[in-house]
Amino acid sequence: MTQENQKQGSKVSKEYKKAADFAEKAFAHIEEHQTPAYPSTYAFWYSYVSRSNEDMVRKVDETLEKTGSLSVYDINQLHDKFLSTEEAEKRRSEQIGNDFEKEMVSVMRLVQQSMSSTDSYCSSLDAAQEQLPEAVSPDKISEIISSLIEQNREMKEMTETLNDGLQKSQNQIHELNAQLAKARDESMRDGLTKLANRRNFDMSLAREIKAARENGTDLTLVLADIDHFKKVNDTYGHQVGDGILQTFASLISNNVKGRDIAARYGGEEFALILPQTNMQAAFHLIERIRKDLEASKLVIKSTGKCIGKVTSSFGMSMLQDGYEAETLIQRADAKLYDAKNNGRNRIEMDTGNAEAA
């Protein structure tokens, strides 16, 4: 073994030892915090011990200093914030784009082959047209006709081959387009609730504010929060908590329509963008959602045990002249804070810019 190979081997051995050490520490954290050894949980703790994301490390350290431990809910929240799949989704879209480009190159190649074959066939017809007037014997005419028949057979086979190749490429392009559309849709949706995610919300709010100003129409923003959600998680576990989030998301989805946009704003917070909707109309919609959740009989599937009443609080604000997206969010968030402080399971409206219902 050369000295260079020995150095390379030593380097690989050190990297392997380092990775194994990180893995051991990651599993130690999983055991210490009693969190399921899901791939996402492992990725979270591996990133923490390897310090691959310093912002996440600081946040984890701050949380541990305050609470002494991390729950599955905490880990999921931190994973979503710092170890987002956005880059993976971007790479997936890029790969689909590359595949699409390759398929288009294949199509162009087939088209060029077709054009070349057509030119060759046309040349054969031109040659036959020149030869036929000069052909005086039956044998010569028969020879020219036989040649044309052979050329026609070859052209037919080539056309069938090209058509088959074009059909396959067309099917592949259709499939790639479907994959790309799916990847784009998934990148804009929350994985658990299937509602719009935060990125989608930010883009949609900016778009709807612009449309409302251009058309002179109303726009109401609602922020919602499930009351005492952390207590539910701590009491019944995070799978039950996830089920409640999904239930609430379904209630919202079943009540919005048209251009309304429902999003998971973060954690147990949700947002509704209601274009062409004033405060009074929005209040009646949100009151229906609030009552639906309060009346829901939530049961743990595995045990049949009733969870008890789960409620939600809401803050509402309507777009006014001079408001930017940040202003609208801040005002709705302030009213949500008031709803929490005033007893929860209620709706608070920004009456500074609209009459109460």
pLDDT tens by residue, 125-179: 556 556 555 554 566 666 656 666 666 666 667 667 766 766 666 666 566 666 6
Q: What is the pLDDT of residue 151?
A: 65
The answer as to whether 356 is a domain residue is no
Does residue 102 or residue 35 have the better pLDDT?
35
Q: Which residue(s) pair with 349 in the sheet? A: 316
- Of 133, 163, 187, the residue at which a domain comes to its end is 187
| pTM for this model (two decimals) | 0.56
For range 295-314, the mean pLDDT: 86
Q: What is the pLDDT of residue 74?
A: 79
Render 105-136 in DSSP notation, one character per residue.
HHHHHHHHHHHHHHHHHHHHHHHHHHHGGG--
Tally of domains in the chain = 3
- Of 164, 187, 210, the residue at which a domain comes to its end is 187
The answer as to whether 355 is a domain residue is no
Nearest in space to 149 (alpha carbons), one of 157, 113, 97: 157
Q: Domain limits at 75?
A: 3-82
Instruction: Indicate the SS3 state at residue 71.
Output: coil
Residues 6+ apart with CB under 8 A from 231: none
Same domain, 134 and 14: no
For range 293-313, the mean pLDDT: 86
CA distance 241 to 305: 14
pLDDT tens by residue, 256-285: 988 899 999 988 999 999 999 999 999 999
Q: Which residue(s) pair with 261 in the sheet? A: 273
**Complete edge-to-edge strand list for the sheet that includes strand 312-318:** 261-266, 269-275, 219-226, 312-318, 347-349
- Burial class from Cβ neighbours inside 10 Å (0-12, 13-18, 19+) for residue 255 reads middle
Does residue 326 or residue 113 have the better pLDDT?
326
